[in-house]
Amino acid sequence: MKQFKVGDQVQKIGALVPGCLRDGVVVAIKLGQEDWQPTKYEVEFKHPRATLHENQLQLIPSAGSILVHIKRKRLHELSLVCAFVDQPECIHIKHCGECLGRFFQFVWQAS
């Protein structure tokens, strides 16, 4: 399943990322031949072009976008499910401190 699309601004994640590989743009998507094979993304950075797996990249929110938090009712519903079913919501919760805190409050109350 594709996590990014062509034109998305992404950054390489990791502890030791050189400055020239920090911010880039997805220019091509290479799907795995089998279902279990990961999707690879060709990313154009400032100097080099690199092919990376999706777990090596993180989406950079655009400067003009407004962060929309997940509603309390939906967070409560997600806390009752054993596994996340909607990946964008999972990614948002993972990176948003406010939603993550409210999510864990619901999980703690349920247990």
Q: pLDDT at residue 67 above 70?
A: no
The stretch 51-56 carries a mean pLDDT of 87
- Of the chain, the percentage scoring pLDDT greater than 90 comes to 2
Give me the phi and psi of 109, to 5 degrees please: -65, -35
Per domain, the residue ranges of the chain are 9-59, 72-110
Q: Percent helix, strand and coil across the chain, each rounded to 5? A: 35, 25, 45
Which of 22-36, 55-69, 91-105 has maximum average pLDDT? Answer: 22-36
pLDDT at 37: 79
Structure-model confidence comparison of residues 39 and 65, the more confident one:
39
